Amino acid sequence: MSCITTRSLSKSYGQVTAVNSINLDVRSGDIFGFLGPNGAGKSTTIKLLTTLVAPTNGTIEILGIDAIKNPLQVRKKIGVVLQQPSYESSLSVENALEKYAMMWGVDRKTRKDRTAELIDVFDLGEIRKRKNEDLSIGQRRRVQVAREFMHEMDLLFLDEPTIGLDPGARRKLLDFLRSKAKTGLTIFYTTHILTEAEYLCDQIAVINKGKILAVDTPEQLKNQFGQEKTIKIHLSTRHQKLVELLTGINDCEIDFDTGTDIIIQSSRAEIVLSQILQILIENNVQVEELSAVPTTLEEIFLKIVGDSNASDD
């Protein structure tokens, strides 16, 4: 079942087209990653889907509701955490959580229970009595994300939710989101940290210059765009002759770096690796480390966006 469906969705500001005729199908219960460079159209798309701005053209259906005709119905069923900081400076952390729940009409007992749960989940215990204005950027961000879980929702939009979080807090948030998705919550997630998307998301869309370039699972994106593998060689000492010999290998790109660290990329990694090993043996080169690793999601992302930019030049 589809939770978000758009067809030919576009948004223009004067002569600038921020979102260009995109089609999205986000399944209920999925964590959907929405990736793109700065200025790609991610934030505008979120504003369209959350009914904060009206589209220039196209259709939007959220949870079976026509979001253009019935924006208030949509807003009652969704949660939104945007990039911009949002906090009540004079309220303590726990009071801010409870006040937000009151705004959503959550009863007193449920407010108390959820506040206690979220303070524990987001490690807010030591700062629960502190005012938001006295918190660090990362602490405010944790409160901002935690606050959204004070009310019931079927769909959550998270725009760069881990900004300012340390690695431990980031992983705890990601695991919490995965647990919520298992209960049926659909999450629309943007991030610049590609390892987050790979760890978290069921499907990923890549957008650039307002256009959707690819949509698939992380694994399928790797299969489709990541035929190349990276071979890494670390030598004990620099060998100028080896550099010359490796340069003669076809179907690969070689970065010699310092000469002791050599990085080779090839879509024929197995064949290239076999040739490299033969050259190393024949020339009695001492290798401290040699490995062949698949292309990462970050490399796939850079390739998709780079190819798109090149085709527009």
Q: Is residue 304 part of a domain?
A: no
Looking at the structure, tell me whether residues 233 and 90 fall in a common domain: no
Looking at the structure, tell me whether residues 257 and 195 fall in a common domain: no
pLDDT tens by residue, 186-199: 999 999 899 999 99
Task: Work out the pLDDT band at 264, boundaries 50, 70, 90.
Answer: confident
User: Percent of the chain at pLDDT above 90?
Assistant: 63
pTM metric for this prediction:
0.81
Looking at the structure, tell me whether residues 117 and 161 fall in a common domain: yes
Q: Is the pLDDT of residue 248 over 90?
A: no
Looking at the structure, tell me whether residues 126 and 244 fall in a common domain: no
Q: Is the pLDDT of residue 228 over 70?
A: no
Residue finishing a domain among 150, 183, 217: 217
User: Percent of the chain at pLDDT above 70?
Assistant: 97
Looking at the structure, tell me whether residues 146 and 281 fall in a common domain: no
Q: CATH no. for residue 249?
A: 3.30.70.250
Looking at the structure, tell me whether residues 204 and 100 fall in a common domain: yes
Q: Is residue 129 part of a domain?
A: yes
**pLDDT for 238:** 74
Looking at the structure, tell me whether residues 182 and 55 fall in a common domain: yes
Q: Is the pLDDT of residue 257 over 70?
A: no
Task: Work out the pLDDT band at 276, boundaries 50, 70, 90.
Answer: confident
Looking at the structure, tell me whether residues 131 and 212 fall in a common domain: yes
Domain that holds residue 138: 2-217
More confident position, 306 or 17: 17
Q: Is residue 47 part of a domain?
A: yes
**pLDDT for 215:** 95
**pLDDT for 2:** 92
Looking at the structure, tell me whether residues 158 and 283 fall in a common domain: no
The count of domains in the chain is 2
Q: Is the pLDDT of residue 232 over 90?
A: no
Q: Is residue 313 part of a domain?
A: no
Q: Is residue 42 part of a domain?
A: yes
Bridge partners (DSSP) of residue 151 are none
Q: Is the pLDDT of residue 30 over 90?
A: yes
Looking at the structure, tell me whether residues 150 and 171 fall in a common domain: yes
Give the number of other Cβ atoms within 10 Å of residue 208's Cβ.
23
pLDDT tens by residue, 115-161: 999 999 999 999 999 999 999 999 999 999 999 999 999 999 999 99
Q: Is the pLDDT of residue 78 over 70?
A: yes
Please give, one letter per residue, the 3-state secondary structure of the chain: CEEEEEEEEEEEECCEEEEEEEEEEEECCCEEEEECCCCCCHHHHHHHHCCCCCCCEEEEEECCEECCCCHHHHHCCEEEECCCCCCCCCCEHHHHHHHHHHHCCCCHHHHHHHHHHHHHHCCCHHHCCCEHHHCCHHHHHHHHHHHHCCCCCCEEEEECCCCCCCHHHHHHHHHHHHHHHHCCCEEEEECCCHHHHHHHCCEEEEEECCEEEEEECHHHHHHHHCCCEEEEEEECCCCHHHHHHHHCCCCCEEECCCCCEEEEEECCHHHHHHHHHHHHHHCCCCEEEEEEEECCHHHHHHHHHHHHHHHHC
Compute the average pLDDT of residues 72-91: 90
Q: Is the pLDDT of residue 9 over 80?
A: yes
| Residues sharing a CB contact under 8 Å with residue 73, sequence separation 6 or more, in sequence order | 65
Looking at the structure, tell me whether residues 164 and 275 fall in a common domain: no
**pLDDT for 245:** 78
Looking at the structure, tell me whether residues 186 and 73 fall in a common domain: yes
Q: Is residue 300 part of a domain?
A: no
**pLDDT for 227:** 63
Q: CATH no. for residue 212?
A: 3.40.50.300
